[in-house]
Structure 1
Protein backbone atom coordinates (compact mmCIF):
# COMPACT_ATOMS: atom_id res chain seq x y z
CA UNK A 1 0.00 0.00 0.00
CA UNK A 2 1.48 3.25 -1.01
CA UNK A 3 2.47 5.81 1.73
CA UNK A 4 0.40 9.01 1.98
CA UNK A 5 2.20 12.31 2.12
CA UNK A 6 0.62 15.01 4.24
CA UNK A 7 1.38 18.59 3.24
CA UNK A 8 3.20 20.90 5.80
CA UNK A 9 1.17 23.78 7.11
CA UNK A 10 2.14 27.13 5.68
CA UNK A 11 3.66 29.47 8.37
CA UNK A 12 1.79 32.67 8.96
CA UNK A 13 3.26 35.80 7.38
CA UNK A 14 5.40 38.02 9.65
CA UNK A 15 3.45 40.56 11.46
CA UNK A 16 4.63 44.09 12.06
CA UNK A 17 2.63 44.37 15.25
CA UNK A 18 4.63 45.06 18.51
CA UNK A 19 5.54 42.12 20.72
CA UNK A 20 3.41 41.28 23.64
CA UNK A 21 3.69 43.17 26.87
CA UNK A 22 5.32 40.29 28.73
CA UNK A 23 8.08 39.98 26.11
CA UNK A 24 8.79 43.74 26.19
CA UNK A 25 9.29 43.59 29.92
CA UNK A 26 12.18 41.13 29.53
CA UNK A 27 14.31 43.53 27.47
CA UNK A 28 17.29 45.09 29.37
CA UNK A 29 17.52 48.84 29.90
CA UNK A 30 20.86 50.65 30.43
CA UNK A 31 21.48 51.44 34.14
CA UNK A 32 23.66 54.55 33.57
CA UNK A 33 23.81 56.98 30.69
CA UNK A 34 27.62 56.47 30.47
CA UNK A 35 27.10 52.98 29.12
CA UNK A 36 25.68 54.44 26.00
CA UNK A 37 27.87 55.62 23.20
CA UNK A 38 28.95 59.23 22.86
CA UNK A 39 26.41 61.37 21.11
CA UNK A 40 27.29 62.23 17.56
CA UNK A 41 28.84 65.68 17.10
CA UNK A 42 26.67 68.43 15.89
CA UNK A 43 27.02 69.45 12.29
CA UNK A 44 30.02 71.77 11.66
CA UNK A 45 32.03 70.51 14.71
CA UNK A 46 35.56 69.14 14.30
CA UNK A 47 37.31 66.82 16.81
CA UNK A 48 41.10 67.11 17.08
CA UNK A 49 42.97 64.46 19.07
CA UNK A 50 46.25 65.57 20.78
CA UNK A 51 48.79 63.05 22.12
CA UNK A 52 48.64 62.62 25.89
CA UNK A 53 52.34 63.35 26.49
CA UNK A 54 52.03 66.71 24.76
CA UNK A 55 49.02 67.67 26.82
CA UNK A 56 50.78 66.99 30.16
CA UNK A 57 54.38 67.92 29.46
CA UNK A 58 54.50 70.58 26.83
CA UNK A 59 52.97 73.89 28.00
CA UNK A 60 51.86 76.55 25.59
CA UNK A 61 54.69 78.81 24.43
CA UNK A 62 53.26 81.85 26.20
CA UNK A 63 53.35 80.03 29.56
CA UNK A 64 56.54 78.02 29.17
CA UNK A 65 58.56 80.37 31.42
CA UNK A 66 56.01 80.27 34.24
CA UNK A 67 55.72 76.52 33.93
CA UNK A 68 59.49 76.13 34.18
CA UNK A 69 59.59 78.37 37.26
CA UNK A 70 56.82 76.48 39.02
CA UNK A 71 58.34 73.12 38.13
CA UNK A 72 61.70 74.15 39.66
CA UNK A 73 60.21 75.04 43.08
CA UNK A 74 59.91 71.48 44.43
CA UNK A 75 63.51 70.76 43.40
CA UNK A 76 64.81 73.84 45.23
CA UNK A 77 62.78 72.96 48.31
CA UNK A 78 64.16 69.42 48.35
CA UNK A 79 67.69 70.73 48.02
CA UNK A 80 67.10 73.23 50.83
CA UNK A 81 65.70 70.53 53.11
CA UNK A 82 68.65 68.27 52.36
CA UNK A 83 71.10 71.09 53.08
CA UNK A 84 69.37 71.94 56.38
CA UNK A 85 69.36 68.31 57.44
CA UNK A 86 73.04 67.95 56.58
CA UNK A 87 73.98 71.11 58.51
CA UNK A 88 71.94 70.06 61.54
CA UNK A 89 73.52 66.62 61.51
CA UNK A 90 77.01 68.13 61.30
CA UNK A 91 76.35 70.51 64.22
CA UNK A 92 74.86 67.72 66.30
CA UNK A 93 77.87 65.53 65.59
CA UNK A 94 80.26 68.29 66.63
CA UNK A 95 78.34 68.88 69.85
CA UNK A 96 78.40 65.18 70.69
CA UNK A 97 82.14 64.96 69.96
CA UNK A 98 82.83 68.04 72.11
CA UNK A 99 80.76 66.62 74.97
CA UNK A 100 82.57 63.32 74.72
CA UNK A 101 85.94 65.11 74.73
CA UNK A 102 85.08 67.22 77.78
CA UNK A 103 83.78 64.13 79.58
CA UNK A 104 86.98 62.22 78.82
CA UNK A 105 89.13 65.12 80.09
CA UNK A 106 87.08 65.33 83.28
CA UNK A 107 87.41 61.59 83.93
CA UNK A 108 91.17 61.64 83.36
CA UNK A 109 92.19 64.85 85.20
CA UNK A 110 89.35 65.29 87.73
CA UNK A 111 89.69 69.12 88.01
CA UNK A 112 88.75 70.74 91.29
CA UNK A 113 88.09 74.36 92.26
CA UNK A 114 91.00 76.03 94.10
CA UNK A 115 90.44 77.45 97.56
CA UNK A 116 91.48 80.84 98.93
CA UNK A 117 91.93 82.42 102.34
CA UNK A 118 93.15 85.73 103.75
CA UNK A 119 96.20 85.25 105.94
CA UNK A 120 96.67 88.83 107.15
CA UNK A 121 95.71 92.48 106.54
CA UNK A 122 97.84 95.51 107.34
CA UNK A 123 95.62 98.60 107.34
CA UNK A 124 96.78 102.23 107.42
CA UNK A 125 94.92 105.52 107.08
CA UNK A 126 91.59 104.25 108.37
CA UNK A 127 90.74 105.32 111.90
CA UNK A 128 87.13 105.92 112.77
CA UNK A 129 88.17 107.79 115.92
CA UNK A 130 90.08 110.39 113.90
CA UNK A 131 88.34 113.62 112.98
CA UNK A 132 88.38 113.51 109.20
CA UNK A 133 85.83 113.96 106.44
CA UNK A 134 87.45 111.41 104.13
CA UNK A 135 90.05 108.66 104.39
CA UNK A 136 92.83 107.32 102.16
CA UNK A 137 93.24 103.71 103.24
CA UNK A 138 96.38 101.70 102.43
CA UNK A 139 96.02 97.94 102.88
CA UNK A 140 98.56 95.16 102.41
CA UNK A 141 96.72 91.86 101.96
CA UNK A 142 98.35 88.45 102.23
CA UNK A 143 96.30 85.86 100.33
CA UNK A 144 96.74 82.10 100.31
CA UNK A 145 95.83 80.21 97.10
CA UNK A 146 95.52 76.45 97.56
CA UNK A 147 95.54 74.07 94.58
CA UNK A 148 96.15 70.96 96.66
CA UNK A 149 92.88 69.32 95.59
CA UNK A 150 94.10 68.98 91.98
CA UNK A 151 96.54 66.15 91.36
CA UNK A 152 96.93 66.64 87.60
CA UNK A 153 95.51 70.10 86.85
CA UNK A 154 97.55 73.30 86.96
CA UNK A 155 96.14 76.83 87.14
CA UNK A 156 97.32 79.90 85.26
CA UNK A 157 96.31 83.15 86.96
CA UNK A 158 96.32 85.72 84.16
CA UNK A 159 96.85 89.48 84.20
CA UNK A 160 93.86 91.70 84.92
CA UNK A 161 92.78 90.25 88.28
CA UNK A 162 91.62 92.58 91.06
CA UNK A 163 91.33 92.35 94.85
CA UNK A 164 89.07 94.72 96.81
CA UNK A 165 88.39 95.29 100.51
CA UNK A 166 85.09 96.81 101.60
CA UNK A 167 83.26 97.65 104.81
CA UNK A 168 79.47 97.55 105.05
CA UNK A 169 79.16 97.62 101.24
CA UNK A 170 81.56 100.60 100.83
CA UNK A 171 84.80 99.96 98.98
CA UNK A 172 87.87 100.90 101.00
CA UNK A 173 90.77 99.91 98.74
CA UNK A 174 91.57 97.91 95.61
CA UNK A 175 94.67 96.40 94.04
CA UNK A 176 95.91 93.88 91.46
CA UNK A 177 95.99 90.11 91.73
CA UNK A 178 99.44 89.00 90.52
CA UNK A 179 99.80 86.72 87.51
CA UNK A 180 101.50 83.38 88.15
CA UNK A 181 101.28 79.67 87.38
CA UNK A 182 100.27 77.29 90.12
CA UNK A 183 101.27 73.67 89.69
CA UNK A 184 99.12 70.75 90.87
CA UNK A 185 99.21 70.08 94.63
CA UNK A 186 100.69 73.53 95.23
CA UNK A 187 99.95 76.21 97.83
CA UNK A 188 101.04 79.76 97.00
CA UNK A 189 101.11 82.70 99.39
CA UNK A 190 101.36 86.19 97.90
CA UNK A 191 100.96 89.77 99.08
CA UNK A 192 99.30 92.59 97.18
CA UNK A 193 99.08 96.31 97.95
CA UNK A 194 95.63 97.89 97.91
CA UNK A 195 94.89 101.57 97.99
CA UNK A 196 91.82 103.81 98.26
CA UNK A 197 91.09 107.51 98.04
CA UNK A 198 88.30 109.79 99.20
CA UNK A 199 86.51 107.19 101.32
CA UNK A 200 83.69 108.73 103.34
CA UNK A 201 81.26 107.32 105.91
CA UNK A 202 77.87 108.39 107.13
CA UNK A 203 77.49 109.36 110.75
CA UNK A 204 75.85 106.04 111.54
CA UNK A 205 78.63 104.06 109.80
CA UNK A 206 81.31 106.07 111.61
CA UNK A 207 79.76 105.36 115.02
CA UNK A 208 79.36 101.65 114.27
CA UNK A 209 82.93 101.39 112.96
CA UNK A 210 84.28 103.15 116.06
CA UNK A 211 82.38 100.75 118.34
CA UNK A 212 83.64 97.70 116.42
CA UNK A 213 87.19 99.06 116.48
CA UNK A 214 87.01 99.55 120.24
CA UNK A 215 85.73 95.99 120.63
CA UNK A 216 88.53 94.61 118.44
CA UNK A 217 86.21 92.98 115.87
CA UNK A 218 85.79 94.92 112.62
CA UNK A 219 84.06 92.90 109.85
CA UNK A 220 85.48 93.35 106.36
CA UNK A 221 84.80 91.76 103.00
CA UNK A 222 87.65 90.74 100.69
CA UNK A 223 86.64 90.02 97.09
CA UNK A 224 88.68 88.91 94.10
CA UNK A 225 87.91 88.55 90.40
CA UNK A 226 90.71 86.68 88.63
CA UNK A 227 90.98 85.50 85.00
CA UNK A 228 92.01 81.86 85.20
CA UNK A 229 92.99 79.20 82.68
CA UNK A 230 93.28 75.51 83.49
CA UNK A 231 96.26 73.53 82.22
CA UNK A 232 95.99 69.78 81.67
CA UNK A 233 99.44 68.34 81.23
CA UNK A 234 101.91 70.40 79.17
CA UNK A 235 99.88 71.02 76.01
CA UNK A 236 96.16 71.07 76.68
CA UNK A 237 94.76 74.37 78.01
CA UNK A 238 91.30 75.85 78.34
CA UNK A 239 89.91 79.26 77.51
CA UNK A 240 90.30 82.04 80.06
CA UNK A 241 87.33 82.56 82.36
CA UNK A 242 86.78 84.65 85.49
CA UNK A 243 86.88 83.07 88.92
CA UNK A 244 85.17 85.03 91.70
CA UNK A 245 86.06 84.66 95.38
CA UNK A 246 84.39 86.35 98.36
CA UNK A 247 85.91 86.14 101.86
CA UNK A 248 84.27 87.39 105.05
CA UNK A 249 86.99 88.32 107.60
CA UNK A 250 87.22 90.08 110.94
CA UNK A 251 90.23 92.15 112.04
CA UNK A 252 91.07 93.21 115.56
CA UNK A 253 92.42 96.68 114.80
CA UNK A 254 92.64 99.47 112.24
CA UNK A 255 95.21 102.17 111.41
CA UNK A 256 98.22 100.34 112.87
CA UNK A 257 101.59 99.64 111.33
CA UNK A 258 101.51 96.06 112.52
CA UNK A 259 99.41 93.52 110.65
CA UNK A 260 95.97 93.01 112.11
CA UNK A 261 94.94 89.62 113.34
CA UNK A 262 92.48 88.16 110.88
CA UNK A 263 89.68 85.77 111.71
CA UNK A 264 88.73 84.23 108.35
CA UNK A 265 85.13 83.11 108.28
CA UNK A 266 85.55 81.31 104.98
CA UNK A 267 85.78 82.16 101.29
CA UNK A 268 83.18 81.27 98.70
CA UNK A 269 84.47 80.58 95.22
CA UNK A 270 82.21 80.92 92.19
CA UNK A 271 83.40 79.41 88.95
CA UNK A 272 81.68 78.37 85.72
CA UNK A 273 81.15 74.66 84.97
CA UNK A 274 83.85 72.76 83.08
CA UNK A 275 82.02 72.72 79.72
CA UNK A 276 82.08 76.55 79.69
CA UNK A 277 85.91 76.56 79.73
CA UNK A 278 86.25 75.16 76.20
Structure 2
Protein backbone atom coordinates (compact mmCIF):
# COMPACT_ATOMS: atom_id res chain seq x y z
CA UNK A 1 0.00 0.00 0.00
CA UNK A 2 1.52 3.19 -1.02
CA UNK A 3 2.21 5.87 1.58
CA UNK A 4 0.04 8.84 1.30
CA UNK A 5 1.52 12.27 1.71
CA UNK A 6 -0.71 14.83 3.25
CA UNK A 7 0.00 18.40 2.28
CA UNK A 8 1.31 20.60 5.06
CA UNK A 9 -0.43 23.91 5.59
CA UNK A 10 1.54 26.67 4.01
CA UNK A 11 3.19 29.09 6.43
CA UNK A 12 1.60 32.46 6.53
CA UNK A 13 3.19 34.90 4.13
CA UNK A 14 5.63 37.39 5.72
CA UNK A 15 3.91 40.58 6.60
CA UNK A 16 5.63 43.89 5.87
CA UNK A 17 3.87 45.64 8.73
CA UNK A 18 5.18 45.12 12.30
CA UNK A 19 2.98 43.70 14.91
CA UNK A 20 0.74 46.02 16.86
CA UNK A 21 2.57 48.07 19.48
CA UNK A 22 5.94 47.59 17.83
CA UNK A 23 6.08 51.13 16.30
CA UNK A 24 5.16 52.77 19.57
CA UNK A 25 7.88 50.86 21.38
CA UNK A 26 10.50 51.78 18.78
CA UNK A 27 9.45 55.45 18.79
CA UNK A 28 9.61 55.55 22.56
CA UNK A 29 13.08 54.09 22.63
CA UNK A 30 14.46 56.44 19.95
CA UNK A 31 12.83 59.83 19.27
CA UNK A 32 9.29 61.09 19.47
CA UNK A 33 7.31 61.08 16.24
CA UNK A 34 6.31 64.73 16.74
CA UNK A 35 7.33 67.47 19.23
CA UNK A 36 5.32 67.69 22.38
CA UNK A 37 4.28 71.06 23.78
CA UNK A 38 3.09 69.71 27.09
CA UNK A 39 6.47 68.90 28.58
CA UNK A 40 9.84 67.32 28.04
CA UNK A 41 9.97 63.62 27.14
CA UNK A 42 10.77 61.25 29.94
CA UNK A 43 14.49 60.60 30.37
CA UNK A 44 16.01 57.42 29.20
CA UNK A 45 17.08 54.84 31.74
CA UNK A 46 20.33 55.76 33.48
CA UNK A 47 19.93 59.51 32.92
CA UNK A 48 19.99 62.03 35.80
CA UNK A 49 18.32 65.45 35.57
CA UNK A 50 19.51 68.37 37.73
CA UNK A 51 17.10 71.29 37.94
CA UNK A 52 18.57 74.80 38.53
CA UNK A 53 16.34 77.66 39.72
CA UNK A 54 15.58 80.22 37.05
CA UNK A 55 16.79 83.21 39.07
CA UNK A 56 20.12 81.53 39.68
CA UNK A 57 20.56 80.89 35.99
CA UNK A 58 19.93 84.55 35.18
CA UNK A 59 22.05 86.02 37.98
CA UNK A 60 25.15 83.89 37.63
CA UNK A 61 26.89 84.88 34.38
CA UNK A 62 29.42 82.76 32.56
CA UNK A 63 33.02 83.15 33.77
CA UNK A 64 34.10 84.92 30.60
CA UNK A 65 31.50 87.67 31.15
CA UNK A 66 31.70 88.01 34.92
CA UNK A 67 33.70 91.28 34.81
CA UNK A 68 31.32 92.97 32.37
CA UNK A 69 28.34 91.78 34.38
CA UNK A 70 29.85 93.20 37.55
CA UNK A 71 30.49 96.56 35.86
CA UNK A 72 26.96 96.76 34.48
CA UNK A 73 25.45 95.73 37.79
CA UNK A 74 27.36 98.49 39.61
CA UNK A 75 25.95 101.31 37.43
CA UNK A 76 22.54 101.58 39.13
CA UNK A 77 24.21 101.73 42.55
CA UNK A 78 26.51 104.55 41.43
CA UNK A 79 23.59 106.46 39.97
CA UNK A 80 21.64 106.09 43.17
CA UNK A 81 24.59 107.34 45.22
CA UNK A 82 25.04 110.29 42.84
CA UNK A 83 21.35 111.20 43.07
CA UNK A 84 21.45 110.99 46.85
CA UNK A 85 24.57 113.18 46.97
CA UNK A 86 23.00 115.80 44.67
CA UNK A 87 19.81 115.84 46.71
CA UNK A 88 21.79 116.20 49.93
CA UNK A 89 23.89 119.06 48.53
CA UNK A 90 20.80 120.86 47.22
CA UNK A 91 19.02 120.49 50.56
CA UNK A 92 22.11 121.78 52.39
CA UNK A 93 22.43 124.84 50.16
CA UNK A 94 18.71 125.54 50.48
CA UNK A 95 18.92 125.25 54.26
CA UNK A 96 21.89 127.64 54.40
CA UNK A 97 20.05 130.11 52.18
CA UNK A 98 16.97 130.00 54.39
CA UNK A 99 19.07 130.45 57.53
CA UNK A 100 20.92 133.41 55.99
CA UNK A 101 17.65 135.02 54.89
CA UNK A 102 16.19 134.54 58.36
CA UNK A 103 19.33 136.02 59.95
CA UNK A 104 19.26 139.09 57.68
CA UNK A 105 15.56 139.54 58.41
CA UNK A 106 16.15 139.43 62.15
CA UNK A 107 19.03 141.94 61.90
CA UNK A 108 16.90 144.27 59.82
CA UNK A 109 14.00 144.13 62.26
CA UNK A 110 16.28 144.74 65.24
CA UNK A 111 18.57 147.50 63.91
CA UNK A 112 16.44 149.09 61.15
CA UNK A 113 19.46 150.30 59.10
CA UNK A 114 19.10 153.39 56.89
CA UNK A 115 21.39 154.89 54.28
CA UNK A 116 23.34 157.99 55.39
CA UNK A 117 22.65 161.38 53.85
CA UNK A 118 25.20 163.87 52.49
CA UNK A 119 25.29 167.54 51.59
CA UNK A 120 27.92 170.08 50.54
CA UNK A 121 28.55 172.68 53.22
CA UNK A 122 30.96 174.92 51.25
CA UNK A 123 33.13 175.12 48.14
CA UNK A 124 36.19 177.27 47.51
CA UNK A 125 37.44 177.24 43.91
CA UNK A 126 40.69 178.68 42.60
CA UNK A 127 42.30 178.56 39.20
CA UNK A 128 39.08 178.42 37.18
CA UNK A 129 39.16 181.28 34.68
CA UNK A 130 36.59 181.40 31.93
CA UNK A 131 38.79 183.67 29.81
CA UNK A 132 41.90 181.45 29.98
CA UNK A 133 42.92 179.94 26.67
CA UNK A 134 45.40 177.35 27.96
CA UNK A 135 44.57 174.32 30.11
CA UNK A 136 43.41 174.97 33.68
CA UNK A 137 44.57 173.58 37.04
CA UNK A 138 41.62 174.14 39.41
CA UNK A 139 42.08 173.87 43.17
CA UNK A 140 38.93 173.23 45.21
CA UNK A 141 38.40 172.99 48.95
CA UNK A 142 35.14 171.18 49.74
CA UNK A 143 33.38 170.74 53.08
CA UNK A 144 31.03 167.75 53.08
CA UNK A 145 28.42 166.99 55.72
CA UNK A 146 27.75 163.29 56.46
CA UNK A 147 24.59 162.66 58.48
CA UNK A 148 23.91 159.33 60.19
CA UNK A 149 21.06 160.64 62.32
CA UNK A 150 18.50 158.26 60.77
CA UNK A 151 20.26 155.23 62.33
CA UNK A 152 19.67 154.74 66.04
CA UNK A 153 21.62 151.48 66.41
CA UNK A 154 23.75 151.21 63.27
CA UNK A 155 27.22 152.72 62.89
CA UNK A 156 29.00 153.36 59.59
CA UNK A 157 32.65 152.69 58.75
CA UNK A 158 33.87 154.82 55.84
CA UNK A 159 36.72 152.84 54.36
CA UNK A 160 39.77 154.20 52.61
CA UNK A 161 39.80 154.57 48.84
CA UNK A 162 36.78 156.85 48.49
CA UNK A 163 36.85 159.72 46.01
CA UNK A 164 35.11 163.08 45.63
CA UNK A 165 34.98 164.86 42.26
CA UNK A 166 33.65 168.23 41.08
CA UNK A 167 32.59 168.79 37.48
CA UNK A 168 31.10 171.59 35.41
CA UNK A 169 28.92 170.99 32.34
CA UNK A 170 30.11 167.39 32.15
CA UNK A 171 33.82 168.35 32.37
CA UNK A 172 35.71 167.02 35.39
CA UNK A 173 37.47 169.87 37.19
CA UNK A 174 39.13 168.32 40.27
CA UNK A 175 39.17 165.20 42.43
CA UNK A 176 40.25 164.36 45.97
CA UNK A 177 40.05 161.60 48.61
CA UNK A 178 37.20 160.88 50.98
CA UNK A 179 38.73 160.39 54.43
CA UNK A 180 38.32 157.13 56.31
CA UNK A 181 36.55 157.38 59.67
CA UNK A 182 33.89 155.72 61.84
CA UNK A 183 30.55 157.40 62.32
CA UNK A 184 28.54 156.42 65.34
CA UNK A 185 24.73 156.17 65.35
CA UNK A 186 22.89 159.53 65.45
CA UNK A 187 26.09 161.34 64.50
CA UNK A 188 26.71 164.20 62.08
CA UNK A 189 30.26 164.73 60.78
CA UNK A 190 31.52 167.63 58.63
CA UNK A 191 34.93 167.11 57.05
CA UNK A 192 37.02 169.07 54.55
CA UNK A 193 38.89 167.62 51.61
CA UNK A 194 41.22 169.25 49.09
CA UNK A 195 40.49 168.54 45.43
CA UNK A 196 43.03 169.16 42.69
CA UNK A 197 42.78 169.08 38.91
CA UNK A 198 45.21 169.46 36.04
CA UNK A 199 45.11 169.73 32.30
CA UNK A 200 41.46 170.78 32.23
CA UNK A 201 40.53 172.15 28.80
CA UNK A 202 37.14 173.78 28.34
CA UNK A 203 35.61 174.09 24.91
CA UNK A 204 34.72 177.47 23.47
CA UNK A 205 31.06 176.83 24.23
CA UNK A 206 31.83 175.84 27.83
CA UNK A 207 33.92 179.00 28.36
CA UNK A 208 31.10 181.20 27.10
CA UNK A 209 28.59 179.39 29.30
CA UNK A 210 30.87 179.67 32.37
CA UNK A 211 31.36 183.42 31.78
CA UNK A 212 27.59 183.89 31.50
CA UNK A 213 26.95 181.88 34.68
CA UNK A 214 29.55 183.91 36.61
CA UNK A 215 28.00 187.16 35.40
CA UNK A 216 24.56 185.91 36.49
CA UNK A 217 25.88 184.78 39.89
CA UNK A 218 24.72 181.17 39.48
CA UNK A 219 27.40 178.62 38.53
CA UNK A 220 26.00 175.04 38.54
CA UNK A 221 28.44 172.37 39.69
CA UNK A 222 28.10 168.63 40.30
CA UNK A 223 29.80 166.97 43.27
CA UNK A 224 30.06 163.18 43.03
CA UNK A 225 31.33 160.79 45.67
CA UNK A 226 32.04 157.06 45.61
CA UNK A 227 32.70 155.79 49.14
CA UNK A 228 33.39 152.22 50.35
CA UNK A 229 31.10 151.77 53.35
CA UNK A 230 30.61 149.01 55.88
CA UNK A 231 27.74 148.89 58.37
CA UNK A 232 28.44 148.04 61.98
CA UNK A 233 25.76 146.47 64.19
CA UNK A 234 26.88 146.68 67.77
CA UNK A 235 30.54 146.00 68.49
CA UNK A 236 31.03 142.66 66.73
CA UNK A 237 28.74 142.28 63.75
CA UNK A 238 29.83 143.96 60.50
CA UNK A 239 28.78 143.67 56.89
CA UNK A 240 30.83 143.39 53.72
CA UNK A 241 32.22 146.55 52.19
CA UNK A 242 29.89 148.06 49.60
CA UNK A 243 30.32 151.21 47.50
CA UNK A 244 27.87 154.02 48.24
CA UNK A 245 27.39 156.58 45.46
CA UNK A 246 26.22 160.14 46.09
CA UNK A 247 25.61 163.03 43.67
CA UNK A 248 25.08 166.61 44.77
CA UNK A 249 23.85 169.33 42.41
CA UNK A 250 25.05 172.67 43.81
CA UNK A 251 24.90 176.24 42.60
CA UNK A 252 27.36 178.92 43.69
CA UNK A 253 26.95 182.65 43.12
CA UNK A 254 30.72 183.11 43.17
CA UNK A 255 33.63 180.71 42.75
CA UNK A 256 34.62 181.23 46.38
CA UNK A 257 31.43 181.17 48.41
CA UNK A 258 29.00 178.90 50.20
CA UNK A 259 26.89 177.02 47.69
CA UNK A 260 23.14 176.95 47.56
CA UNK A 261 22.51 173.20 47.44
CA UNK A 262 19.85 170.69 48.29
CA UNK A 263 20.27 167.21 49.81
CA UNK A 264 22.47 164.94 47.75
CA UNK A 265 21.03 161.95 45.98
CA UNK A 266 22.43 158.76 47.53
CA UNK A 267 22.46 155.46 45.66
CA UNK A 268 23.08 152.36 47.74
CA UNK A 269 22.43 148.67 47.19
CA UNK A 270 19.76 146.86 49.25
CA UNK A 271 20.63 145.39 52.62
CA UNK A 272 20.78 141.75 51.46
CA UNK A 273 23.66 142.66 49.11
CA UNK A 274 25.81 143.72 52.09
CA UNK A 275 26.16 140.18 53.44
TM over 0.5: yes
Sort the Cα spacing of 1:35 and 1:274 in 2 relative to 1 into closer, same or farther, 3 A: same
Check 1:20–1:55 CA distance in 2 against 1; reply closer, same or farther (3 A cut): closer
Query: Tell me, what secondary structure is at the counterpart of 2:177?
Result: strand
Q: Deviations over 1:119-141 (max 9, x none)?
A: 1100000010344x110000000
- Aligned to 1:33, what secondary structure does the other structure show? coil
Query: Could you tell me whether the CA contact under 8 Å between 2:119 and 2:262 is conserved in 1?
Result: no
Query: Could you list the per-position Cα deviations for residues 11-47 of structure 1 after superposition, in whole angstroms to 9, with x for gaps in the alignment?
Result: 9999999999999999999999998556789999998
| Per-residue CA distance 1:142-194 (angstroms, 9 max, x = gap) | 00000000000000101111000011111100000011111100110000000
Counterpart position of 1:41: 43
- Does the C-alpha gap of structure 1 residues 38 and 119 become closer, same or farther in structure 2, counting only changes over 3 Å? same
Shift in alpha-carbon separation, 1:19–1:66, aligned structure 2, 3 A: closer
Matched residue SS, 1:35? coil
Contact 1:221 1:246 survives alignment (8 Å): yes
User: Structure 1 residues 180, 10: closer, same or farther in 2, change over 3 A?
Assistant: farther
Q: Give the structure 2 partner of residue 100 of structure 1.
A: 102
Q: CA deviation at 1:3?
A: 61
Unpaired runs of 5+ residues, structure 2, are none
**1:158 corresponds to which residue?**
159
Say if 2:117 and 2:263, in contact at 8 Å, map to a contact too.
Answer: no
1:253 to partner: Cα distance: 1.6
CA RMSD of aligned residues (A): 8.7
C-alpha separation in 2, matches of 1:220 and 1:206: 14
Runs of 4+ in 1 over 2 A off after TM superposition: 1-54
State the number of aligned residues.
Answer: 273
Q: Compared with structure 1, are the counterparts of its residues 34 and 248 closer, same or farther at alpha carbon in structure 2 (3 Å cutoff)? A: farther
Q: Is the 8 A contact 1:30 1:36 kept in 2?
A: no
In 2, Cα distance between the equivalents of 1:84 and 1:202? 63
SS in 2 for 1:266: coil
Which 5+ residue runs of structure 1 have no aligned equivalent?
none
Matched residue of 1:23: which SS?
Answer: helix
Note the alpha carbon deviations across 1:57-101, whole angstroms, 9 max, x for none: 110111100000000000000000011111111111111000000
Deviation of the 1:10 alpha carbon: 36
